[in-house]
Structure 1
Amino acid sequence: MTVYRNRPDLVAALVQDDRVHRDLYLSEELFALEQAHLFATTWTYIGHASQVPNAGDFVSLDIAGRPLLLVRQADGAVRVLYNRCAHKGTRLVTDESGNTGRFFRCPYHAWTYKLDGAPLAIPLKSGYEGTGLKACESGQGMVAVKHMAVYRDFVFVRLSDTGPAFEDYFGEVLGAIDNMVDRSPEGRLTVAGGVLRNIVHCNWKMYLENINDTVHPMSTHESATQAAEALWQGNATDAPKPMAMEQILPFGAGYDFFDKMGGRIFPNGHSVLGVNFSIHSGYAQLPEYEAAMRTAHGAERAADILERSPQNSVLYPSLSVKGSPQAIRVIRPLAADRTLIEAWSFRAAGAPDVLLERAMSYNRLVFSPMSVVAHDDVHLFESIQQGLRADGNDWVSLHRNFDPAELAQSTLTTNGTNELLMRNQFRAWARYMALGMEAAA
């Protein structure tokens, strides 16, 4: 078995111009290195500010093995803290979310901290007089994540001091968030409708690259689309469709449709699939809402927002955005062969309820563990994870439409079935793995 620790040269060799080594999906050692380096040097999505509307509200989660807290402060700001007591390291909260009141209290020895992590009180305080506690890190309170960015209420962190600034890292792909937020005439979204969670027994990169795979729907989801087509058969072509039909029938569009939708890559692994149109482009029009959008944003900007409905926009490595419907998927790696996928829906302030209904309907239809679409993908993801252990071929092909000229271009528009969007992710993986490993050497 290859040993990759302290060998950034070997890690870099796993990603070639048009293929990647199967160890990227199978190796627990590489997964540990990803946790230490890739997810530390890149910007990772934490949560949405609307999840913590009131002072003391918190969301707890693990990012790259580090327990974190997203907390609403008394002054209205949001802050990300490491979820550990400065005393013995106990996690201060174990609930997924809640309200801590005006302070955090450790369940072990009752040390307390203000909402910003500053120390508040400790039992038996006199026992620490004359000791080195105040000069020690333990006396400074909870530790805040230094590198945090809030972009239109979407909260991201970079855990390492090594890595690019937020705006430099995401660049133009932040327009995907703008497109979704600006579907609200008031320019504001709130999380609504709960969350769908699914643990898939596959590597996280497998799921993320599938988001940009437009060739699989015709075969993978054939049974689901055929069933929908059979139910819809006999209706006029221009007949109004129920929402579920409106959302699932386009999955059966042919290769030509998906190829012509187009895709675009950006530096650092980001991409937009469906730059021309997508399976979301044919949703029923809403004249009153569209008029409100023109009033709020102006005719030109409103048209740009509403006519642009990308299939998927990937903010590498943790977030996939669908402007319409207003939904996101969050990728949370748990192990080399285990990934948590979260699907969230948003309510657009000032917009009709049907927009939220579309988001929730789509998430249930496509991303729910019990959906007629997701079970196809999950079966294949887990099958791939097992099949890659077979001997005789150590490589995974990413050859489709490869052009050596693409290696010199960090931003490029291409056809929708080009595996360039996947190759772009793996090139970013190699770059940031090397950056983290070299900084730690």
Structure 2
Amino acid sequence: MSLNHETLASLVRPDSVNKRVYTDPEIFVLEMERIYGRAWIYVGHESQVKAPGDYHTTRLGDQDVVMVRASDGQIHVVYNRCPHKGAQIVPDGDGSAGKFFRCPYHAWTFKLDGTHLSAPLRNGLQNTCFDPKHPDFSMRRLARVDSYRGFVFASQASDGPDLKTFLNGVASSIDNLCDRSPVGEVEVTGGVFRVLQRSNWKVFYENLHDTMHAPVTHESSVVSARSQAAEMGAMPFELLIMDGNGEPYEFWEKLELRAYEYGHGYMEGIFDPTAATRDPVSNAHFAALAETYGEERARGILGMNRHNTVIYGSGSPHTVFQQFRVIRPIAVDKTLVEIQVFRLKGAPEAVFDRALTYANVINSPSSNVMPDDVEVYARCQQGNQTHGGDWVSMHRYAGTDRAVEDGFVSINGTSELPMRNQFAAWKRFMVDDAAQTQKQTQNQGDA
């Protein structure tokens, strides 16, 4: 079946989507071009490249890129490719390039912004079209790079909304994460977990705000946590955060779900924000914030209770336990998730220790919770490859989404509003914006 605009549009209904959006390799290729090739995508945090020459490698869709800090302090994002033979300039991971990039193949060198610096035995390039000032002989920079409170995003498209417009209402989640520091700054530290999932990248985004799955998928870890707590006669933090998934449906129905343009949104938190008056770690955190901001603002910062925020195409910041789950598509049925943990500068060390505990217990590859999700994601991928049906339901509370000034809000916390909103954005990127770009290109050709 041809993947023209009409075909792609027919795969998304107001209350369901065709399973091809998860299983078709051709659609995956188009997603890398039309979504990851145009949207603002999270590259990394400024704290990962603290000194000039420091770099951090990652992927934007199917493109390997390098975030680097230059000698003037500016951060650049360049494709990880030497223009000579196409070799990757730096290996996967973090490191320091020193004062310039040097290709390991033929020693071509480049300034830290990617500009061509030198090539050995340049006399052999004389009387040719070689021009060191021509962009073809430099490492290519991404079209647009911007930072929001230290979080660096890049877009491969030269046009489109600016970063703040793109983030819309979820920028407030980044604000809250940073404001939880008494000095308003955070830094990535403590290492990064990596989880390779055998499923399409969109499944994880849907699950982040899927409140119906928690007491079912995570039943085993909830039962284990409660059993151990009963034996201990107490519910320590490590068990409490596992037990949170076991709340009854009545609890989940009362939560608020928000949806914004471009597929973003957030889910109201599931842990009690008033714990700052009882829990010793939160109490110390509150005291540190109150000393800087005053008690009223400190209560407001800690009282913004969000569980998972979705930045569509990038991943999910968690403000309460200062994580960022970065979601990277690898193939139509393979997704890499990186869990970054942030230290709140100026906050008590116990706050960071708690964040590490949460990452280990809930998000790490060896946790008691993450494997539940990874298993059902894989089952969704496998099930959608059978002949058991063509459509994936997103009917819960369809047609009841309440429009607000900057997006939509659910009338029930078990609504599938987030999934419908994500596929509205998917359709816009894949069909509407692509059709508009094609039309503009044709008009330019006709002119």
**What's the TM-score bracket when you normalise by the shorter of the two chains?**
over 0.9
Match of 2:217 among 216, 220, 230: 220
The 2-side partners of 1:194 and 1:131 are apart by 47
Q: Is the 8 A contact 1:265 1:413 kept in 2?
A: yes
Per-residue CA distance 1:319-342 (angstroms, 9 max, x = gap)? 201111111101000011000011
Residues 178, 47 of structure 1: CA spacing in aligned structure 2 closer, same or farther, 3 A cutoff?
A: same
Residues 1:261 and 2:255 are matched in the alignment: yes
- Conserved in 2, the CA contact under 8 Å of 1:18 and 1:402? yes
Superposition map of 1:98-113 within 5 A? 98-113=95-110
Show the counterpart of 1:297: 293
Q: 1:359-374 maps to which residues of 2 (within 5 A)?
A: 359-374=355-370
Q: Does the C-alpha gap of structure 1 residues 235 and 95 become closer, same or farther in structure 2, counting only changes over 3 Å? A: closer
Code of the residue aligned with 1:3 in structure 2: it is: S
Q: Deviations over 1:257-314 (max 9, x none)?
A: 111121111111111101xx42364752533331221232233322111011211111
Helix, strand or coil for the counterpart of 1:311? strand
1:396 is matched with 392
- Could you tell me which residue of structure 1 aligns to residue 270 of structure 2? 278
Q: Which residue of 1 aligns with 2:382?
A: 386
Check whether the contact 2:238–2:361 (CA below 8 A) recurs between aligned residues. Answer: yes
Q: Does 1:250 align with 2:244?
A: yes
CA distance in 2, matches of 1:405, 1:413: 6
Could you tell me which amino acid in structure 2 is paired with residue 42 of structure 1? Answer: A
Deviations along 1:375-407, one digit per CA (max 9) or x if unpaired, are 111111111111112214100000000116658
In the alignment, the residues of structure 2 paired with residue 243 and residue 55 of structure 1 have an alpha-carbon distance, to the nearest angstrom, of 40
Query: Do the aligned partners of 1:321 and 1:329 also contact (CA within 8 Å) in 2?
Result: yes
Gaps of 5+ in 1: none
Q: Is 1:93–2:85 an aligned residue pair?
A: no
Shift in alpha-carbon separation, 1:373–1:232, aligned structure 2, 3 A: same
C-alpha deviation, 1:18, in angstroms: 0.3
Letter in 2 for 1:178: D
> 1:54-203 residue pairs with structure 2 within 5 A?
54-134=51-131, 137=134, 140-203=137-200
CA shift in 2, pair 1:362/1:304, >3 Å = same
Match of 1:3? 2
Give the C-alpha shift of residue 10 in structure 1. Answer: 1.1
Across the aligned residues of Structure 1 and Structure 2, the Cα RMSD in angstroms comes to: 2.0
Structure 1 length as normaliser, TM-score?
0.93
Output the amino acid matched with 1:333.
P
What residue ranges of structure 2 are gaps of 5+ in the alignment? 442-447
Q: Which residue of 1 aligns with 2:34?
A: 37
Is the 8 Å Cα contact of residues 176 and 323 (structure 1) preserved in structure 2?
Answer: yes
Q: How much identity, in percent, do the aligned residues show?
A: 37
- Secondary structure at the residue paired with 2:147? strand
Give the distance between the partners of 1:312 and 1:93, measured in 2 at CA.
33
TM-score under structure 2 length normalisation: 0.92
Residues paired across the two proteins, number: 433
Instruction: Report what 1:316 is aligned to.
Output: 312
Letter in 1 for 2:270: S
Does the 8 Å CA contact 1:69/1:80 hold for their aligned counterparts?
A: yes
The one-letter amino acid paired with 2:381 is Q
Partner of 2:207: 210
- Separation in 2 of the partners of 1:186 and 1:142? 36
SS of residue paired to 2:35:
helix
Q: Which residue of 2 aligns with 1:343?
A: 339
3-state SS in 1 of match to 2:354: helix
| Structure 1 residues 56-115: Cα deviation after superposition (integer angstroms, max 9, x where no partner) | 111112212112100011112211111111222211112311101101111121110111
Q: SS of 2:168's equivalent?
A: helix
Q: Please give the alpha-carbon distance, in whole angstroms, between the structure 2 residues aligned to 1:282 and 1:32.
A: 46
Q: How does 1:423-434 map to 2 (within 5 A)?
A: 423-434=420-431
Q: Residues 66 and 219 from structure 1, CA distance in 2 versus in 1: closer, same or farther, beyond 3 angstroms?
A: same
Per-residue deviation at 1:127? Answer: 2.2
Shift of the alpha carbon at 1:357? 1.6
Where 2:328 maps in the other structure, the secondary structure is: strand
State how far apart, in whole Å, the 1-side matches of 2:433 and 2:84 are: 29
Q: Which residue of 2 aligns with 1:50?
A: 47
Give the partner amino acid of 2:355.
A
Paired AA for residue 26 in structure 1 = T
* Change beyond 3 A, Cα 1:43–1:128: same
Q: In structure 2, which of residues 18, 31, 53 is the aligned counterpart of residue 21 of structure 1?
A: 18
Q: Tell me the CA shift for residue 162 of structure 1.
A: 4.0
Q: Which amino acid aligns with 2:168?
A: G
Shift in CA distance, 139/122, structure 1 to aligned 2, threshold 3 Å:
farther
Distance 1:139 1:319 in 2: 33
